[in-house]
Structure 1
Amino acid sequence: MKVIIAAAGTGGHINPGIAIANKIKSEQPNSEIIFIGTERGLENDLVPRAGYTLKTIEAYGFSRKVSIGNIKEMYKTFASIKEAKKIIEEFKPDVVIGTGGYICVPVMLAAKSKKIPTVLHESNAFPGIAVKMLSKKVNLILVGFEDAIKKLPKAKKIVVTGTPTKLRKMELTTEEKKKITKEFGFKDYEPRVLIFGGSQGAQSINDSMIEIITEKSNRGYQIIWAAGPSQYDIIKEKLNEKGIDINNIQSVRVVPYIYNMQEIMNYADLVVSRSGAMTVTEVALLGKPAIFIPFPHATENHQEYNARVLEDACAARVILDKNLTGTMLDQNIYSIISNTEVLKKMGQNATKIAINDVEDKIYKEIIKIIKQ
Structure 2
Amino acid sequence: MTAPDRMGPCVVVAGGGTAGHIEPALALADAVMRARPDARVVALGTARGLESKIVPARGYPLEMIPPVPMPRKPSPDLLKMPLKVREAIKQTRAVLDRVHADVVVGFGGYVSLPAYLAARGKVPIVVHEANARAGLANKVGAKFAEKVAAAVPNSGLPDAQVIGIPLRHAITSMDRAALRAQARQYFGLHPTAPVLFVSGGSQGARTLNNAVSNAAAAFARAGVSVLHAHGPKNSLVVQEIPGAPPYVAVPYVERMDLAYAAADLMLCRAGAMTVAEVSAVGLPAVFVPLPIGNGEQSLNAIPIVEAGGGLLIPDDELTPDRVVDEVLPLVGDRTRLAVMSNAARSGGHRVAADVLAQMVLSVVNK
TM-score normalised per structure 1:
0.86
Q: What residue in structure 2 maps to residue 225 of structure 1? A: 228
SS in 1 for 2:289: coil
Out of 256, 270, 274, which is 2:269 matched to?
Answer: 274
1:186 maps to 190
The structure 2 residue matched to 1:170, chosen from 157, 171, 175, is: 175
| SS of the residue 2:177 aligns to | coil
Kindly indicate whether residue 323 of structure 2 is the aligned counterpart of residue 329 of structure 1: yes
Q: 1:121 aligns with which of 113, 128, 138?
A: 128
1:313 matched to which residue of 2?
Answer: 307
Alignment of 1:25 with 2:33, yes or no, is yes
Does the 8 Å CA contact 2:197/2:226 hold for their aligned counterparts? yes
Shift of 1:68: 0.8
Tell me the SS of whatever aligns to 2:133.
coil
- Residues 223 and 245 of structure 2 are in contact (CA less than 8 Å); yes or no, is this contact kept in structure 1? no
Residue 89 of structure 1 aligns with an amino acid whose one-letter code is D
Q: What does residue range 239-254 of structure 1 map to in structure 2 within 5 Å? A: 239=238, 244-245=239-240, 250-254=245-249
| Cα 1:214–1:268 shift into 2, 3 Å | closer
**Contact 1:146/1:160 (8 A) holds in 2:** no
Partner residue, 2:142? 135
Kept in 2, the 8 Å contact 1:81–1:107? The answer is: yes
The 3 A distance-change label for structure 1 pair 179 and 99 is: closer
Partner Cα distance (1:185, 1:46) in 2:
27
Q: Could you tell me whether the CA contact under 8 Å between 1:60 and 1:74 is conserved in 2?
A: no
- Cα 1:247–1:181 change in 2 (3 A) is farther
User: What residue number does 2:4 align with?
Assistant: none
Amino acid at match of 1:95: V
Q: Which moved more, 1:28-37 or 1:273-282?
A: 28-37
Contact 1:61 1:102 in 2 (8 A): yes
Deviations 1:289-348 (A, max 9, x none): 110111223x43322221122112221111121222111122221342344332222111
Question: Quick check: 1:72 aligned with 2:66?
Answer: no
Counterpart CA distance in 2 for 1:67 and 1:318 is 36
- Whether the 8 Å contact between 1:13 and 1:101 is mirrored in structure 2 is yes
Amino acid at match of 2:204: G
Where 1:195 maps in the other structure, the secondary structure is: strand
Partners of 1:271 and 1:185 in 2: how far apart?
15
Counterpart in the other structure of 1:284? 279
- The residue that corresponds to 2:257 in the other structure is 262
Q: Give the secondary-structure state (helix, strand or coil) at the position aligned to 2:137.
A: helix
Letter in 2 for 1:90: R
Per the TM alignment, residue 48 of structure 1 is displaced from its structure 2 partner at its CA by 2.0
Deviations 1:251-294 (A, max 9, x none): 42222333332123123111111111211111101111110111
The equivalences for 1:18-97 within 5 A come to 18-73=26-81, 75-97=83-105
Deviation track 1:42-75 (CA, whole Å, cap 9, x = no partner) reads: 1211222222222222232223311112332464
Greater mean deviation of Cα atoms: 260-269 or 93-102: 260-269
Q: Describe the SS at the equivalent of 2:215.
A: helix
- Structure 1 contact 212–218 (Cα < 8 Å) conserved: no
Range with greater deviation from structure 2 (30-39 or 214-223):
214-223
SS at match of 1:113: coil
Q: Deviations over 1:191-238 (max 9, x none)?
A: 22111111222111111122102566862533222222322xx323xx
CA contact (8 A) 1:81 1:109 kept: yes
Amino acid of the structure 2 residue aligned with 1:305:
L
Verify the 8 A CA contact 1:246 1:254 in the aligned structure 2.
no
Aligned equivalents of 1:260 and 1:119: distance in 2?
A: 30
Contact 2:14 2:111 in 1 (8 A): yes
Q: Please name the residue that 2:113 is paired with.
A: 105
Count of paired positions = 356
Structure 1 gaps of 5+ residues are: none
In the TM superposition, residue 354 of structure 1 has moved relative to its aligned partner by 0.8
Deviates further, 74-83 or 179-188:
179-188
Of stretches 327-336 and 91-100 in structure 1, the one that deviates more from structure 2 is: 327-336
Structure 1 pair 279–118 and aligned structure 2 pair: CA distance change class (3 A): same
The one-letter amino acid paired with 2:229 is: A
TM-score normalised by L of structure 2:
0.87
